[in-house]
Amino acid sequence: MNAPLTAVAISCTLKPSPGDSSSDLLASQILAALAGHGVTGEVIRAVDHVISPGVEKDMGGNDAWPGLRRQILDADILVFVTPTWMGQHSSVAQRVLERLDAELSETDARGRLTLLDKVAIAGIVGNEDGAHHIAAILFQSLNDVGYTIPSQSSVYWNGEAMQTVDYKDLDDVPEKVAAATATAARNAAHLARVLREREYPST
C-alpha cells in the first residue's frame, strides 16, 4: 500500500515521432506536476504504435494494444491528452477510447471492473475552441470504463482562432495553464491515494 503511485500519459497527437507535438509537451508538463506529488510516469505517443480498430483487448496480428493496455492497467493515473481538430478530439484519441471499451467486460477476481480504483485526467490543446466539449466526452467515456475523475482535472489551452501559433510555440507556459496543471496533478494524486487505501466495494 505504500508503493509509489504511477501514471501513464497517452498522447493522441496525429504527428508520429520525432515530430514536435503540443500534446506531448502538455502531457510531459502534467507528468512533471504529478512528480511533485510522488507520482512517476511516462508519455506514450499512441500514433507511434499499431492500434488496430476494434473493441476487443487484443485484435490479433500486429496489434500493439495488448502491451499498451498492460501499461494502462498497471498505472494508478491515466493522463489522456488530445489535440483539437475541427472542434473535436483527434481520431487517434477516438481509437484509444474504442479500445478501452473492452474494459467494460473485463473484471478482477472480485468481479469489479479492471479500471476501478484508478484516476483519469484530461489535457486538450488546439488553436480553436472545443476544449470543454472534448473534456466532457473524455470524462464520460473514461468514467464509463471505471475511471474516477478528480475535481478540476482538465488542463487545456486554446490559441487564437484561425491562427498558426501552437502550444509548443509559446515561450512560456501561460499562468492559467500552469495553475490548472498544478491543480489537476494535486487532485489526481490525492484521489489516487484515497482509492488505493479505500477501494470501491465489490457488492
User: What was the pLDDT predicted at 117?
Assistant: 96
Q: Which three cell numbers stand for residue 36?
A: 511533485
Interatomic CA distance for residues 128 and 87, integer angstroms: 7
pTM above 0.85, yes or no: yes
120: nearest Cα among 5, 7, 203: 7
Contact between residue 39 and residue 189 where contact means Cβ atoms under 8 Å apart: yes
Average pLDDT per block of 10 residues along the chain, 203 residues long: 87 96 98 98 98 96 97 98 95 98 93 96 93 97 98 94 88 97 98 96 85
Contact between residue 158 and residue 131 where contact means Cβ atoms under 8 Å apart: yes
User: What was the pLDDT predicted at 3?
Assistant: 78
**The dihedral of CA 196, 111, 119, 23: what is its sign?**
positive
Question: For 124, phi and psi rounded to 5 degrees?
Answer: -135, 135
User: What was the pLDDT predicted at 129?
Assistant: 86
Read off the DSSP letter of residue 169: G
User: What was the pLDDT predicted at 2?
Assistant: 64
Contact between residue 154 and residue 139 where contact means Cβ atoms under 8 Å apart: yes
